[in-house]
Structure 1
Amino acid sequence: MGIINEFKEFAVKGNVVDMAVGIIIGGAFGTIVKSLVSDIIMPPIGMLMGGIDFSDLIIPLDGNEYASLEAANEAGAPVIAYGMFINNVISFLIVAWAVFMLVKGMNSLKKKEEAAPAEPPAPPAEQVLLEEIRDLLKAK
């Protein structure tokens, strides 16, 4: 029963919820970046390189020639899809850059917060009362 209680304690902590939200948003962000790379970035690069579609860059392992990755998949041929690998590397670099910029921004906000001068703590109520009594005695 100890493990179940430990798991309950872990699961109800706020950090788990924050982590779950981060994973969900990260997955959605990954989908957007994948679309950005395959639908927006790679087509112009492929056009500049003579009309190459990077997603169709393959090395068939069965010795046959295929027009595209889709054609090879339909034929059930084993292939090395290095074009898809290139797309995924570019997607990773974009996500890594975005995470780096996010962490950098958070660190700079944290440094500004730490650099801001903190107000001195208020004196204890007894000290304030004693100072008022002292001032009243001086006035008499």
Structure 2
Amino acid sequence: MWKEFKDFAMKGNVIDLAIAVVIGAAFGKIVSSLVDNIIMPLIGILTGGIDFTKSFIWQVGDATVSFGVFLQSIIDFFIISFAIFMFIRLLNKLTKKKKEEVVEEEAAPELDTKEELLREIRDLLKAQNTNK
């Protein structure tokens, strides 16, 4: 059983997934910091100094509903989604260029001498038919 688990864990997909999760968490922290420390204060300035995390709070007794924090989370989500979209778009462009380079590098197959002769005959027949 241990050997099976080791084989599973050492496959490329599992390791790639683990790396993606770690990088994704770090990327999420960066974008959250961008939203919390730069974008939301700028939005607050544009809206007259409103801080969404401290505004839009509805309190009944001991219960508190923070619409501002939820709104900030929605903005955070859209910025993260857009950043991931732009990263994937860039990655797709780079891989597409690499694929095009590989296709260009593939040489045309060399023709057999019989095929070359048949093409020459075809071209001569075409030329005779157009001259008539």
TM surpasses 0.5? yes
Partner Cα separation in structure 2 for residue 102 and residue 50 of structure 1: 33
SS of equivalent residue, structure 1 residue 54: coil
1:118 is aligned with what amino acid?
Answer: E
* d(CA) in 2 for partners of 1:87, 1:6: 45
1:17 is matched by which residue type in structure 2? I
Question: How far does the alpha carbon of each residue in 1:89-112 deviate from its partner, in whole angstroms, 9 at most, with x for none?
Answer: 111111111111111112112221
Q: Residues 26-105 of structure 1: matches in 2 within 5 Å? A: 26-57=24-55, 58-62=57-61, 77-105=62-90
CA distance in 1, matches of 2:86, 2:71: 23
Q: Does 1:118 align with 2:116?
A: no
Distance in 1 of aligned mates of 2:12 and 2:44: 46
Greater RCO (Cα-Cα under 8 Å, separation 6 or more): 1
In structure 1, the residue corresponding to 2:99 is in which secondary structure? helix
Q: 1:19 aligns with which of 2, 5, 17?
A: 17
Deviation at 1:118, TM superposition (A): 2.8
Identity among equivalent pairs (%): 46
C-alpha separation between the residues in 1 aligned to 2:85 and 2:4?
A: 33
Ranges in structure 2 where 5+ consecutive residues have no aligned partner: 109-132
Q: 2:33 & 2:72 partners in 1: Cα distance? A: 10
Q: Secondary structure at the match of 2:106?
A: coil
Aligned residue pair count: 107
